[in-house]
Every structure is written in structure tokens, then in C-alpha cells.
Structure 1
């Protein structure tokens, strides 16, 4: 990893704690229906990390998992219901929600699944119809 900075995060109640180390593979906003429903918001801020950069440091036994599709293993705290992360095994990445790591310097670089948006965001950040081509998507850009 190019940076050995460690950032701490936790679920809503603090029963589960984690660290992320270094720099994420990507950061951005997801507008897909699944992420919107899971996050209970119009958009989900993500940080994607290689699995070796994410460590559960407390409360691993308190983590529950739900899988609507094989592409996303969503994890949350059994005590408070606080969302923690989503494992994306087919991409080889873990999404640690930006809000879970409050001191991390979040700098979004892309909007994904923007064709599903319910909240138009005019921020100059590229908007993709689905996901980048290198991640199996079309890589097609959409207007703000």
C-alpha cells in the first residue's frame, strides 16, 4: 500500500470496531436501488478497499450478514443494526461506508449506477451509467 495511515471506524453503538489501512481502491457515490434501500438514503457514499486493508478489531462475533445477490455480502451490527461494510467477493473489494470511518479524508471520484438516481447531484464528479468497464460495467458516462 502506498500509505500506511490507519483510520478507525465503528458501528452505531461501538460494539463492532474496524480499521482501514492505506488508501482505498476507489471512493464515490452509489445510486443503485439496492444501496439506496440498504442505506435508507437517496445515495450511498462508498470507499472500496482490498480485503487485506480492512480489519475487524472488536466485535467480529457481533456481525451479521445479508446477501440479496452473490455480488454483495452486506454486514451490520447485531446489537444496534448499524451498517458496517459490504464485501464484494466478485470484485475482490470491501466497501466500508464512508460514514463509518469519520476521520478518513473522503474524496469521491465517481458516481456509479447513476441511471437509477433519485437525487441529481451537480458536483462535477463523473457520472457512470453502471460501473467502470474494468469492473465489468459499460463504463458509459451520463450527464449531470
Structure 2
């Protein structure tokens, strides 16, 4: 934790450093095929922040992005390829990957896109078929 109460993170090689401040709006797991492919894992652990609470404090010139859909701009370090965040402009949040903020006490609240899971997780958390209604989803819940 930084002296001002914010948390610091970085890419794999350290060329890009980020700072998040305050508390995340939400933390959880995404099971969609896009997040799985992007993260190269069976599930993606996310932390959602208001965009103004996420700052690039070093290496902004090494941060590059790719926009496959209208809902997501994925960003990574061009030096090492380390994934850092996904901007969601339509929803007004930035997902900073939980693993990119090592000092964050990750406390997941929900699962999204659980209909696509390849790694069922029995943890008692709400499992949304797609997204909560506030994010354009049906709000439909699924069983563990």
C-alpha cells in the first residue's frame, strides 16, 4: 500500500506501474470465453474501479490496447505482454486484474457469465448467467 492509502501494481516486467485508490466497486470472477482467452486461464479474477481511481504512474508509453467489442478495451504492456486492465467505457468502470495488484485483499462478491464456465466453483457466491441488470444482463441466477 502506498503512503496515501492507494495500492500499487505493475505488469510482469515492471515497465508499467499502476495505482488504484479507494475501494473497488466490485470484485469477482468472469467466466466468459473472451476473458478466459485473454487471461489464458479457466476464469478471470476482476476488480472494478471508477476510471478516475486508476492511474498509470509509470510507463504509459508502454501501455497498448485492443478493442474487440464495444464493451471492452483490453490493455497490456508492450515490453513484456503482461496484462493489466480492461476499460469498460459503456459501463463506466475499469477492470484491473486482481493479480496485477498483489497487495489487494481480493474479496470476490459474484460470478458473471457463469453459463460459460469451464471451472465450476462451489463457493456460495451469486452466479449470474450473464450480468446483473445494471450491466445490461438478464440478472438470471444459476445454481452452483
Whether TM exceeds 0.5 here: the answer is yes
Deviations 1:60-117 (A, max 9, x none): 0001101110110000000000001000000000000000000011100000000000
Unaligned runs of 5+ in 1: none
- Root-mean-square deviation (CA), in Å? 0.8
State how far apart, in whole Å, the 2-side matches of 1:135 and 1:87 are: 14
Residue equivalent to 2:78: 78
State how far apart, in whole Å, the 1-side matches of 2:106 and 2:123 are: 15
Residue equivalent to 2:143: 143
Unaligned runs of 5+ in 2: none
State how far apart, in whole Å, the 2-side matches of 1:5 and 1:141 are: 35
Residue equivalent to 1:6: 6
Residue equivalent to 2:121: 121
Deviations 1:123-142 (A, max 9, x none): 11110001111111111110
Residue equivalent to 2:50: 50
Structure 1 consecutive aligned stretches of length 4 or more whose deviation exceeds 2 Å = none
- Number of corresponding residues: 141
State how far apart, in whole Å, the 1-side matches of 2:76 and 2:67 are: 12
